[in-house]
């Protein structure tokens, strides 16, 4: 029997959204913003075995990024359980995990410590992370001066070089310049070829999912609509999206 790396049971998470009105409406109609509860995850359950690459698809707002951020500990679920079987986990996602006032170099240290690496381990890896990111001339500037592309390069480089047991990848393979996209894709392929490493990949790129994933999980409005073999689920999902 295959060894489980991730076990998720009945995961639920809701958040409150406020429906805003224009300043004119607020001034002359005296309406207040309306509170609306959004059920982002509505009882999600699945397993991922050690070494598996699981794709995650769904329309915008279906709960894909929320799922990955909940698995990574960014969000606290309202109910349900997540068992990572003692594995280290990292999230590759734009805008997640960086402190804007700190420099790129300082964020490497902070993110590495949060992932459980020691200062000595990070000293050994920092130069390699910086070189892969191609941000040498910007690395001692604060993150708020970085473009979204620079953020994605640094985020990918930290997770790719530090190599945790579980990788959560949220659309970062499709950003940056063409050369960096190819380098990132090749690096990701090498990482997931290691059968001790498990990955969840959120992507809208059909070719990426078919090329990299063993199975695909289809989320629809916070529920799993289908999970199974990559080609079968993608065929159903793409037909639905038509």
In-domain check, residue 122? yes
In-domain check, residue 141? yes
Q: State the pTM of this model.
A: 0.83
In-domain check, residue 29? yes
pLDDT of residue 34: 64
pLDDT tens for 108-134 read 999 899 888 999 999 999 999 999 999
User: For the chain, what is the domain count?
Assistant: 2
CA distances from 190 to 1, 19, 63 (A): 25, 45, 28
Residues 137 and 184 in one domain: no
pLDDT at 58 over 70: yes
User: CB within 8 A of 61, min separation 6: which ones?
Assistant: 221
Full domain range(s) for residue 31: 4-88+165-241
Residues 21 and 38 in one domain: yes
Looking at residue 34, which CATH number applies to its domain?
3.40.50.300
pLDDT of residue 63: 95
pLDDT of residue 188: 85
Six token digits for residue 22: 């224009």
In-domain check, residue 93? no
pLDDT of residue 19: 57
First to last CA, the chain: 38
Residues 134 and 34 in one domain: no
pLDDT-derived band at 196, boundaries 50, 70, 90: confident
- The last residue of one of the domains, among 144, 163, 182, is 163
- The last residue of one of the domains, among 163, 191, 220, is 163
Residues 137 and 209 in one domain: no
- The last residue of one of the domains, among 163, 180, 202, is 163
Once rounded to an integer, what is the mean pLDDT over residues 81-110?
88
Once rounded to an integer, what is the mean pLDDT over residues 153-158?
88
Six token digits for residue 127: 């130069």
CA distance 201 to 198: 10
Residues 170 and 62 in one domain: yes
Residues 133 and 195 in one domain: no
């Amino acid at each position: 029997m295959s060894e489980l790396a991730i076990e998720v049971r009945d995961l639920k998470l809701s958040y409150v959204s406020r429906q805003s009105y224009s300043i004119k409406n607020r001034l002359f109609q005296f309406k207040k913003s309306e509170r609306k509860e959004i059920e982002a995850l509505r009882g999600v359950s699945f397993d991922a075995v050690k070494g598996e690459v699981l794709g995650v698809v769904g329309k915008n707002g279906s709960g894909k990024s929320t799922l990955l951020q909940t698995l990574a500990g960014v969000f606290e679920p309202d109910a349900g359980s997540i068992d990572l079987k003692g594995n280290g986990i990292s999230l590759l996602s734009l805008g997640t995990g960086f402190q804007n006032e700190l420099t790129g170099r300082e964020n490497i240290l902070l993110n590495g410590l949060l992932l459980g690496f020691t200062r000595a381990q990070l000293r050994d890896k920092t130069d390699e992370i910086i070189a892969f990111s191609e941000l040498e001339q910007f690395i001692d500037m604060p993150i708020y001066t970085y473009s979204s592309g620079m953020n994605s390069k640094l985020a990918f480089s930290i997770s790719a070089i530090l190599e945790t047991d579980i990788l959560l990848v949220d659309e970062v393979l499709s950003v940056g310049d063409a050369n960096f996209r190819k380098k990132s894709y090749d690096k990701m392929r090498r990482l997931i070829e290691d059968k001790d490493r498990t990955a969840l990949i959120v992507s809208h790129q059909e070719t990426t999912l078919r090329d990299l994933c063993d199975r695909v999980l289809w989320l629809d409005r916070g529920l799993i609509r289908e999970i199974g073999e990559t080609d079968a689920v993608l065929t159903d999902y793409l037909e639905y999206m038509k």
